[in-house]
Amino acid sequence: MGSLLVLLSQLQEVSPKNMILLVGPPGAGKSTFCQQAVLQTLPLDKPVIYVTTEYGPSRVEDALKEAGLQEFEPGLLHYVDAYNETVGVSVSDRSDAVHADCNDLSSIDIAISKLHERIGKKHVLLVFDSLTSPYLFSGSEFLRFMRESLSRYAAKGNAVLTCIDEGCGKSEDLVAMMSLANGVIRIEMKKDKQVLDVMKHPKVKPTKIEVIIEPERIGLPPKEFWSQNATETITRTIQGKAEFSIGRKVGDFVNIFWPNLAFWSGMPWDPKRFPALTYEVNKKHGAGMKEAFSLLPWYKRLAFKLLLPKNFSKTKDMKKMSKMTQSMEQVRYGIIKYAEELSKMDEHYFRIHESSECWIFRNVGATMASVFPPIIAGICEGLESWRGLEREWNVIETKCVGLGDPYCEFKLFPRENGELNEFLEKDSSAIKKIHDRLMTRLVGFLLEGKALVERPRLGSDAQLRLIAGVMGIPIMAGERYRMAWRMGGAKVGKEVGQGLTDAGISEDEAVKRILQLLEYCKVGELSKAETIRIKENCESIWVKGYAPKWKEPCCFFTTGFLNGFFSAVKNQHVKETKCIAMGDPYCEWEFS
């Protein structure tokens, strides 16, 4: 044990003139490693510059204190906050922090140099946590930043500790980053152990180390999070009293392009875990049918017990349950049919034509559905549980227009299945194709007035309640998911702004067109003067139903999108200062 601690201490003590790169999947513990390096450095009265790109300095402070940070000499720990300004989060100014923008690598370089001059000492430890966001914004151009800024900074006698998420970009770019570093440590989680694979290091020979550590978790919220409102919505549906209306002035439908843009823009930040989390969130939503049935009057509960089968193993019983999917055509999710001729005992097939999740992604090389199929699995699970049968239901998409099929088809089964992980995972090449498809349609709309999406029978819109299965996920799934939606919005907003500028569109005309986009997508009722206001914003209108005590603005994607766009077009930043989620009459963004 003693030798292990010594070895870990050697790894976390980065020597001057060296750059160490931590590589591993999201949640492997790379940020924890960085924070431990800071805890080891500060007691030696060595200054630290901590660059944050996926959360703010306050979160670093909280983590350091929780890990045992003691009092240290003032002026030793400084921050480059490259997160809050990038995504439009409003925070108080700090004397120990300088703001930068992941959109602009030079701003990060300038901020680091400014703090280094302020410190006025040599042998500074620069912690860059993490490279993922600026790399996703800048692509291969980021390699030049590593070579000309970070490597140069280390060569001047400073120590650099960086980290990047594996699987969030091109494999050849990761290889190039590893070649630029003096040391490379690959970190991964295996059950309850963290495995550190020292691939190269200036002081430690190649080796593998296993450490017991609590992994970073993203998952479903506790049961009490799901408010009474969510259950009551399902209850009204069962009672036949569902009013698929919220009464927005712009109508209760949203162009399906907008939630698809939001969902897939955030995906690159955690392409392996986010599909699984989306699946579980929507499956839990469907399983809420159990709680809804329990709220019915006793005579209606008795009636449903007589009408509903005890389980859904047989095709005749699943066919009864499939009638519940007919409302999905009403909300314009898709045209759904139970494929009785393909189904058999404990293996059921559904076909969907004109799916709102898949229609615009023909031939991108991946399955696309993430909302409706797991909801159906959850409904089966919840109703069987209500009847006293506890078993897990799952679903995989067997055909998809994303794979070039003429329609989507999914298989529903009451067991675990080795195909599930393969169905959920999305690789970076497929995500890039999806992103390119979205941007092509978006640019076509903004420059040429082309339709964003058209479906032969169901049109371009879907009911707002359905959109909540996508737009409501960040509220339910935790801070990392919210970060991804913020960053994804900022990235795509920047690309749109740059695209309009490159096309010769003036600043004012570009702003006019982007507001027309939001109106066309029926995001909400818009107005712009000195601020931007959106009444009944589709992204935040659901929050009072799921999280009525929400205390901060929650238009994660919208804010990121607007911030990225205005930073590219007008060199301005926006911050959401009012939000429906907090009880305000509208969502509002101020300029700075």
260-291 pLDDT, tens digit per residue, is: 999 999 999 988 888 888 888 888 888 877 77
- 485 falls in which pLDDT band (50, 70, 90)? very high
Strand partners, 169: none
pTM reported for the whole predicted model = 0.90
208-249 pLDDT, tens digit per residue, is: 988 877 656 655 554 544 444 445 555 544 444 444 456 688
Residues in the chain: 592
**Spatial distance between the Cα atoms of 403 and 217, rounded to a whole number of angstroms:** 31
**Spatial distance between the Cα atoms of 293 and 315, rounded to a whole number of angstroms:** 23
* Contact call for residues 116 and 51 (beta carbons, < 8 A): no
To which residue do tokens 């339910």 refer? 476
| Domain residue extents for the chain | 2-212, 218-247+272-426, 429-456+471-592
Neighbours of 342 (CB within 10 A): 15
Rama region for 347: left / alpha / beta (φ>0; ψ in -120 to 50; rest): beta
Phi and psi angles of residue 468, each rounded to the nearest 5 degrees, phi first? -60, -25
**CATH classification code of 2-212:** 3.40.50.300
**Spatial distance between the Cα atoms of 334 and 325, rounded to a whole number of angstroms:** 10
* Radius of gyration of the CA atoms of the chain, in A: 25
Question: Considering the chain, what percentage of its residues have pLDDT values greater than 90?
Answer: 62
Rama region for 534: left / alpha / beta (φ>0; ψ in -120 to 50; rest): beta
pLDDT of 549 reads 67
* Contact call for residues 123 and 49 (beta carbons, < 8 A): no
**Spatial distance between the Cα atoms of 398 and 393, rounded to a whole number of angstroms:** 16
* Contact call for residues 558 and 539 (beta carbons, < 8 A): yes
pLDDT of 243 reads 44
- Most confident among 151-160, 190-199, 476-485 (mean pLDDT): 151-160
Mean pLDDT across 322-343: 86
Give Cα separations from 544 to 94, 244, 259, 579, 580 (angstroms): 32, 17, 19, 11, 8
Helix or strand (DSSP H, E) at 18 = strand 18-24
Contacts of 486 (CB under 8 A, 6+ apart): 86, 87, 88, 89, 556, 557, 559, 560
* Contact call for residues 428 and 435 (beta carbons, < 8 A): no
In three-state secondary structure terms, 268 is: helix
**Spatial distance between the Cα atoms of 467 and 490, rounded to a whole number of angstroms:** 21
Q: What is the 3-state secondary structure (H, E, C) of 185-213?
A: EEEEEECCEEEEEEEECCCCCCEEEEEEC
Give the architecture (CATH level 2) of 429-456+471-592: 2-Layer Sandwich (3.30)
500-549 pLDDT, tens digit per residue, is: 999 999 999 999 999 999 999 999 999 988 999 999 999 988 776 666 66
What's the gap between Cα 79 and its chain centre? 24
User: Do the domains spanning 2-212 and 429-456+471-592 agree at the CATH topology level?
Assistant: no
28-46 pLDDT, tens digit per residue, is: 899 999 999 999 999 889 9
**Spatial distance between the Cα atoms of 353 and 413, rounded to a whole number of angstroms:** 21
| More confidently predicted of 341 and 223 | 341
**Spatial distance between the Cα atoms of 214 and 200, rounded to a whole number of angstroms:** 25
218-247+272-426 placed in CATH 3.30.70: no
pLDDT of 410 reads 95
